[in-house]
A and B are shown apart, each in its own frame.
Chain A
Amino acid sequence: MKKNLTFTGILIVLIISLTIFSGCSEKKSIVKSDETKVQETVSAPAPAPAETTETATQENVSQPTETEIANEQSSLMEATAKSPISDIYFDFDSYSIHPDSREILKVNADYLLKHKVSSVVVEGHCDERGTAEYNMALGQRRAQETKKYLVNLGVNESIIKTISYGEERPLDPDNNEEAWAKNRRAHFVVNP
């Protein structure tokens, strides 16, 4: 009888301590299940307003003039116009070839098959939105998917090179959907 009582005593203490301890760990509020992950978004405690105006001392290191930038831009435009084969365009964060791009790629492949071409460089480009690093990878994938499509159309794989410029060489520097759509492209540089 005495033993039984001792046992009950121990059990009660254990249960109480367990409850208290598990009560403590609840603070971490870990929500976890295999199928659906619950993520609670907590806004920052003090999302202070816009940035303050305090700025570091500025030594402006040789700025490019407006005309320099404009010249660069127009030479990019010219290069695009000069290329004997047309660019194709992509959706945001996508590297799948559009149905209407397939027609363009057929024409491009035809040109490459019928002319003496030593090499063609497929450049992958992105719009300015999102991360420069991710866009560099996305541009590479756009170039590679385009290359694959040309190879499937019979173009010799060994003459096609790929390069990504990510978001670094926009055709249109504006910050709107019209400009972005122009910038999400694969461009072809043909070397005779």
Chain B
Amino acid sequence: MKKTCLFLFLTLFFCTLFIFSHGVDAKVYVDIDSPNFQQIPIAICDFYNKTASATKSENVGAIISDGIKKDLSLTGIFNILNNKSFLESNPSDAKESIRFSDWALIGADFLLQGIITQNDKGIAADGRLFDVARGETLFHKKYFSGIKDIKILSRKIASDILLTLTNDEGDFNTKITFVSKKGSKSDLYVINYDGSELKNVTNHQSILIAPRWSPDGNLIAFTSFKDGHPAVYIRNFKNGSEKKVASFDGLNMCGAFSPDNKKLLLTLSKDGNEEIYTLEIGNLKLKRLTNNYSIDVSPVWSPDGEKIAFVSNRAGSPQIYIMDSDGNNVRRITFEGKYNTSPAWSPRGGYIAYEGLVNDKYQIFSIDEEGNRIFQLTSDASNKESPSWSPSGRQIVYVSRKSSKSKICIMNSNGSNPRVLIENINKLVMPAWSPRLK
């Protein structure tokens, strides 16, 4: 009897353990959230062009693989091996003839090979991704595109690689808006995440601050002084129409859109001091959320819409606070340093990025929602400001400012791999990363 009982309990206990340890999604090949994460070493072969020489255009295979390499390197999580280190180059038709040991020898964890055929209509590509250590095929897919759309074809393959290895869609097809200041005049600009296609958005020639994307990617809200005083505008990104939605006495400052695109957070001073409100975009109905004689500013929603993070100086210095979305249950989450502002909630939840003053410089930090763990993400001698997460939550765009010069930079969300997205003679500030665009 005694033995049976013990045996039963032990069995149950180990079953539970087993279930817990195997709860991880088995589809993910590389855990890029692990603190020990190292860039994924991958070999991308030039696609082999099987077309008969008469119709064959030069280098298409290399152009496709270069596009894939560029897209993958933008994610910040791949170590793309140099083709010169490859021991074999032309892809074999059959998996059996690939010598995986050769690829392991040069340090590749994964291998992409492809074959293309061309005709008048375009290109057919046949791409295969392999796990080198196991000698397994991870995917084998066919892609088609017009000869002019090679970039799209490359991007599709790069997306498939990222999705297969990390179970994440990545940040392909996203844009970043920012404010460009020339002298005293500011306007909104937009650039693709890969640094291409810089475009002017507004022509207010005025003060423009706090641009925010709607989660569906259709609208951009901001504060502009184009009529001589600050007012909040919502701009249709596609047709360029602008609607003034808040123009009260005093300050009218734009906060973030709600996850359902229906509400906009604002900071208004119309009731005597700076308070946070929600504005229903459909009927312009206002609801006040904060009630405190202090500065309450820069509100952002949590991805689930349940909570709002904001900046308040109610304890004497600007700090990050969180409240429920109805304004109740306000709690402070930053306690280190005298100046913590610009909260940005990770789209995956859990963490809030912000800028904080340390050793007389502003740096980017991230903190968990409970305020228990802080990570300092930047540290060099320039000031870092205005963090904004990419839709995947894997990257952060921010401003790097040194004396009068300021440029837009991107880093991985753990602070690694910082790089310049755009810089020019103007002061570039307040970047906002778009959602995934269609």
Contact = CB atoms under 8 A, between A and B. Distances in A.
Interface of A: 2, 5-6, 9-10, 13, 16-17, 20, 29-32, 37-64, 68-69, 72, 93, 129-134, 136-138, 140-141, 144, 161-166, 168-169, 173, 175
B209 A133 contact: yes
B373 interface: yes
Contacts of A129: 362
A93 to B, nearest CB: 7
A30 B416 contact: no
Given A61-B200, A72-B183, A39 B374 contact: yes
The 3 closest A-B pairs by CB, nearest first: A44-B415, A56-B195, A131-B341
B345 to A, nearest CB: 15
B100 to A, nearest CB: 29
Interface residues of B, number: 87
A39 B182 contact: no
Contact of B297 (A38, A40, A57, A137): A137
A53 B422 CA distance: 10
Interface stretch (B6-14, B60-68, B108-116, B139-147): B6-14
Contacts, number: 216
Interface of B: 1-2, 5-6, 9-10, 13, 16-17, 35, 180, 182-186, 189, 191, 195-196, 198, 200, 207, 209-210, 223, 229-230, 249-251, 253, 267, 269, 272-274, 295, 297-298, 311, 313, 317-318, 334-336, 338-339, 341-342, 355, 357, 362, 367, 370-380, 385-386, 400, 403-404, 409, 414-426, 429-430
B415 A136 contact: no
Nearest to B367: A39
Given A39-B372, A41-B336, A93 B317 contact: yes
A16 to B, nearest CB: 8
A13 B414 CA distance: 40
Contacts of A141: 273-274, 295
Contact of A30 (B13, B318, B370, B404): B370
A144 B371 contact: no
Contact of B198 (A43, A56, A136): A56
B48 to A, nearest CB: 29
B231 to A, nearest CB: 12
A64 B342 contact: no
A45 B195 contact: no
A138 B295 contact: yes
B424 to A, nearest CB: 5
